[in-house]
Structure 1
């Protein structure tokens, strides 16, 4: 919605503007140019200030409801750029399913198999006593923990 000089902004428009400001800073701080499409996706990802776990397909579906249409290919490319810039963490559940997490601090995840959903697991309850030694010429850069869950009947 565009506003003329004499029109006032609604609470929704103010919230959207604030979300856009947050998203623009998020991109700029990571050294990414805030294009319209990046701004749209960034606002969907972090505009409400809550951490999210999304797939490319779920973010694409959210974007279809926004004023700025983006293609699925653009969503994939943008998510890759956000990961490369350190804005998102990619969590691979199996060889074909990736989720993108706005919380980039190392933490474990629950994967709800019955719902195809990822959620944070309490990091304070995870204890890893020892890791295997990395092979010669390699170093461990991270450890991903995905705990698979199925609801009991």
Structure 2
């Protein structure tokens, strides 16, 4: 059973959003963008988005989902949140903020940008600039 996909994101058509980001709005990109942004701000893995695409009858491979998520990230439409090793989530909220990661549930929750204070950063190598600082606070339920 296919799910209905909402084609507007905060009043903006995803096709226009892709074009504005410098991406050609291919059928697969549009379909994946509709899935990504139709449910508000959220964190999801490539595997979860692929499952949603399959459920919505969007013919796309997992490799294409990975490639598309990385293209969206490079274009500034997503933010990549690396939790550990091969655990990567993609965040539809690209403004400055940090994250809680709930171990055992593999759940990522936003911390508002002003919720964490960074006192001192190390000296950065010459010719480099800080793009942003990601803080991931790991949580687990008390025994």
TM-score norm. by structure 2 comes to 0.88
In 2, distance between residues paired with 1:18 and 1:142?
28
Q: Which sections of structure 1, spanning at least 5 residues, go unmatched?
A: 1-11
Which structure has more helix as a fraction of its residues?
1
Query: How many positions carry a matched residue from both structures?
Result: 139
1:59-87 Cα shifts (integer Å, max 9, x gaps): 00000011321100110110111011111
Relative contact order (C-alpha < 8 Å, sep 6+): which is higher? 2
1:108/1:144 contact within 8 Å kept? yes
Task: Find the structure with the greater CA-based Rg.
Answer: 1
TM-score norm. by structure 1 comes to 0.82
In 2, distance between residues paired with 1:58 and 1:131?
34
Which structure has more strand as a fraction of its residues?
2
Which SS does the other structure have where 2:6 is aligned?
helix
* 1:1-153 alignment runs, 5 A limit: 16-18=6-8, 22-48=13-39, 50-153=40-143
Which SS does the other structure have where 2:90 is aligned?
strand
Give the drift of 1:137: 3.8
1:113/1:149 contact within 8 Å kept? yes
